[in-house]
Amino acid sequence: MIYLLLIFLLGMMTPIQTAANSRLRQSVVSPFVASLVSFSIGTLYLTIVTIMQDNSLAISAETFHNLPWWSWLGGMCGLYGLTVNIVIFPKLGSVQTALMPMLGQMSMGMLIDHFGWFRSAVYPLTTLRLAALAIILIGVYMVVIKKGEQSKGSNLLLWQIIGISGGMMFAMQPPMNSLLSEELSSAVSAAFISFLSATVALYAIVLLRKGDRCHLPQIFTNRGPWWSWLGGIIGGTFVTGFAFFASKVGIGLLLVTSICGLLTCSLVIDKYGLLGATKKTIGTIQYVGLLCVVAGIVILRLN
What are the angstrom distances between the C-alpha of 76 and each of 91, 133, 152?
Answer: 23, 27, 28
pLDDT tens digit at each of 303 positions of the chain: 899 999 999 999 988 888 888 788 777 777 888 888 889 999 999 999 999 988 888 888 888 888 999 999 999 998 898 888 778 876 776 667 778 888 899 889 999 999 999 999 898 889 998 999 899 989 888 888 764 455 555 678 898 899 899 999 999 999 999 999 998 889 999 999 999 999 999 999 888 887 777 877 777 776 678 888 888 999 999 999 999 999 898 898 899 999 999 889 988 888 888 877 778 888 888 899 999 999 988 888 777
100-113: b (≥16 Cβ within 10 Å) or e: bbbbbbbbbbbebb
Question: For the whole model, what pTM was predicted?
Answer: 0.84
Whole-number Å distance between alpha carbons of 101 and 160: 9
Amino acid at 49: V
Sign of CA dihedral 271, 5, 232, 137: negative
**Three-state secondary structure call for residue 115:** helix
DSSP state of 214: T
Q: Which residue pairs from 97-100 have beta carbons closer than 8 angstroms and sit at least 24 positions apart in sequence?
A: 97/163, 98/140, 98/144, 99/140, 99/141, 99/144, 99/163, 100/160, 100/163, 100/164, 100/166, 100/167
Of the candidates 244, 268, 198, 248, the one whose C-alpha atom is nearest the C-alpha of residue 14 is 268
Amino acid at 97: T
Of the candidates 197, 220, 275, 190, the one whose C-alpha atom is nearest the C-alpha of residue 17 is 275
Whole-number Å distance between alpha carbons of 153 and 245: 39
Whole-number Å distance between alpha carbons of 178 and 240: 9
Whole-number Å distance between alpha carbons of 110 and 11: 18
pLDDT value, residue 94: 65
* Helix (H), strand (E), coil (C) string for 123-164: CCCCHHHHHHHHHHHHHHHHHHCCCCCCCCCCCHHHHHHHHH
Whole-number Å distance between alpha carbons of 175 and 188: 14
Whole-number Å distance between alpha carbons of 12 and 89: 21
* Helix (H), strand (E), coil (C) string for 222-286: CCCCHHHHCHHHHHHHHHHHHHHHHHHHCHHHHHHHHHHHHHHHHHHHHHHCHHHCCCCCCCHHH
